[in-house]
Structure 1
């Protein structure tokens, strides 16, 4: 069975999965959504010496490797190191990005080239990897299954009920087909259009439009070689991220799958009607967005065979991420513009931290009293929210600032930006910058902060401050 073929657990009627199970020393964690953050949470919960019981519920009928390129920056790669998955990611086609190149839109001239590679590993403690999203998900899926997580596909959650009577203190996950799953903890990892978010907030909160949309696609090395263009030939041999900056738009290009495929993302002003999330555009319309740009880029754009538009959405912050022993992670709680390569990375951090906190609690004196256990878990998930909320809000606002930085029109501000960036190599990337992309302190905080070590320390502080929560009697 391939890693993307998953046994689909079936039952009929109103059967309960995990029902009539007395409280014991093992937490049952139900994760709604098998994306990158949800799978990271499953792995983290299962890799401890005393693993949690984990069920991942995914509504798609089959897990298929789809998508395009994605970054695993050092903060997410550090989590992958913790999981022992870095070599598997590289074997699946992931590679260490060597440089991050910013170019002028008109002629492709380099504004500045930031070295990644060994510098990033030395300064931040982990690699910067690029990979196909489907290959990334595949590696995490394999790891979750190997560790013993149950994966249920074609399974949609329609409600969460608080347990009463014999299920007191439990969370009852209600499925569309009538089945019910008893859980101690429920994690909403169901993405931008999360139904779990509505449960936690008690009201709908759809994401809001950002004013940008994206065209995305991949194509083959052979397509690019067919141009017989020395500049394109030079680009495809580099393990670099290439970004063309221009007025109100930019383009991102980098290799995938051992340089047999290449990823292209075009970010432009949103012209879709309000409320329309995706629409098929024309190749001609897409190409015109980059009229007058570097001819090398426009040749690369001509390789795309689809012009599907994806509206970019986000929101600033939620009032809360938790409701009792129910919590949100990733895009369900903090969607962001993709301009720092941190959307999936923050979701992976969320999942790994939840795993650390839940397994640490399980190692302590986890209460066998339903009411007491409910209180322990409620307090623990509030700690998770405190750990994550400020960091993810900084990332969301940082991505908005990066958008401004990328999309400057020609003029004084653009010239100031380019001049400042051109001086950063002389400072060995250790100095301040008006723009977060070049600011050493900002980058260190974003890429070099060890969220797992911090979670371990904060758990200990939490336990010491209120030992009654963690060390209460199990009677």
Structure 2
């Protein structure tokens, strides 16, 4: 079996690794002439680090990143601590994997190097202009036609593969929010000579300030040598702009009246870009014949639940697992040389189509729930001053992600559904049920 993956982002590379681990030939088509993953810090929750553990890459992730020891929520005006949630070993104990923060470039590099080591072919400067869902095949801008058994669209919100799957172009819509993202060194922060800033830098923590219409996130990356800052606020980009150079003065003015410690941290930002946060309407389908979508190409989400990249990496891992199971248990002869039951050459593509539909079925409910959860978090994080905000702060003071730290029992129960599911075990069971349903048991 040969799989062609369009896009060498986090989800695409995870899919390449998962497929190569199953003995599937992989070619990744990346339109950029060189690998240059951009961005700042990224949170990798336990469901994401569990995939890295299964790939054998958790040591590299921990070497380049930082295991979060606590998550702190603060009031926007005075920095008053609303809740300090213990993470650390409690997270690993309950979910089987740690919560890690890492620079996105480092995360991408780990996946890229592993895909190459396992034998995936990554073709740079390969711009896909069209997809044939019948063969399937990808047509490149230089006229080259790349034929495969399966094509995976991991090409983000502006996906060209999505157009082929749906038969029409579907545009992403503004959410009304945008994000400033910046990183800076520990030395820049320590140079402020501020005790409160130094105290924040000492903690291996994700710290958020919650305020009306806005919130911010601050945490260490690269072993605490650098820090990541994300500032989320109402969108003021033009309707046709997705990203542009930000104005430092505008950014700082946006947070006048907020906690003085936060304002001092913001003063260290030398330059900044701002990104429009967009979303897609729910897609009718993620697959067509032997072509499928993953990650932001089919379920982009607001970054208010730290799950966007984790869900894309899960997608890639599940696709590799299902296609590998199909190849090993159904398409290949057994050890005696006998052909698998009910398999003829003409039916292989039909079986592949069914397995990709199984991928969509096993993932759609989970990713939809994540999207809805991020929207709910947006409302909770951005509450205006008043009675409801006070109620939120009171409840937040007792909430937690683990059963040990959650006095409400509600928060940890919801988090358990997201963080605790072993998606590879889950899709393995789904595959076995599918085999029974088509009477392929030997």
Please give the TM-score of this superposition, normalised by the length of structure 1.
0.88
Alpha-carbon distance in structure 1 between the residues aligned to 2:314 and 2:133: 28
1:315 Cα deviation after fit = 2.1
Match of 2:117 among 146, 162, 185: 146
Alpha-carbon distance in structure 2 between the residues aligned to 1:387 and 1:431: 32
2:212·2:385 contact (CA, 8 Å) conserved in 1? yes
Alpha-carbon distance in structure 1 between the residues aligned to 2:72 and 2:407: 18
Counterpart of 1:350 in structure 2 is 315
Q: State yes or no: 1:429 paired with 2:405.
A: yes
Counterpart of 1:3 in structure 2 is none
In the alignment, structure 1 segments of 5+ residues that lack a partner are: 1-26, 164-169
Alpha-carbon distance in structure 1 between the residues aligned to 2:310 and 2:56: 16
Q: Relative to 1, partners in 2 of residues 1:454 and 1:205: Cα closer, same or farther, differing over 3 Å?
A: same
Counterpart of 1:47 in structure 2 is 21
Alpha-carbon distance in structure 2 between the residues aligned to 1:162 and 1:201: 10
Deviations 1:14-64 (A, max 9, x none): xxxxxxxxxxxxx1000000100000011111113xx00110110110012
Q: State yes or no: 1:319 paired with 2:284.
A: yes
Counterpart of 2:340 in structure 1 is none
Alpha-carbon distance in structure 1 between the residues aligned to 2:436 and 2:299: 30
2:31·2:124 contact (CA, 8 Å) conserved in 1? yes
Counterpart of 1:113 in structure 2 is 84
Q: State yes or no: 1:411 paired with 2:411.
A: no
In the TM superposition, 1:268-307 aligns within 5 A as: 268-307=233-272
Mean CA deviation greater in 368-377 or 289-298: 368-377
In the TM superposition, 1:8-407 aligns within 5 A as: 27-48=1-22, 51-91=23-63, 93-162=64-133, 170-366=135-331, 369-407=344-382
SS in 1 for 2:301: coil
1:249·1:269 contact (CA, 8 Å) conserved in 2? yes
Alpha-carbon distance in structure 2 between the residues aligned to 1:432 and 1:315: 33
Alpha-carbon distance in structure 1 between the residues aligned to 2:16 and 2:372: 28
1:45·1:52 contact (CA, 8 Å) conserved in 2? yes
1:458 Cα deviation after fit = 0.6
Counterpart of 1:9 in structure 2 is none
Deviations 1:75-131 (A, max 9, x none): 01110110000001122x211001110000011111001111111111111100110
SS in 1 for 2:229: strand
1:254 Cα deviation after fit = 0.5
Q: How many residues align?
A: 431
SS in 1 for 2:11: helix
1:264 Cα deviation after fit = 0.4
Please give the TM-score of this superposition, normalised by the length of structure 2.
0.95
1:411 Cα deviation after fit = 0.6
Alpha-carbon distance in structure 2 between the residues aligned to 1:379 and 1:353: 14
Counterpart of 1:24 in structure 2 is none
Alpha-carbon distance in structure 1 between the residues aligned to 2:258 and 2:15: 43
Counterpart of 1:166 in structure 2 is none
SS in 2 for 1:364: helix
Alpha-carbon distance in structure 1 between the residues aligned to 2:52 and 2:427: 16
Alpha-carbon distance in structure 1 between the residues aligned to 2:344 and 2:133: 16
1:241 Cα deviation after fit = 0.3
SS in 2 for 1:160: strand
1:432·1:441 contact (CA, 8 Å) conserved in 2? no
SS in 2 for 1:253: strand
In the alignment, structure 2 segments of 5+ residues that lack a partner are: 333-342
1:316·1:396 contact (CA, 8 Å) conserved in 2? no
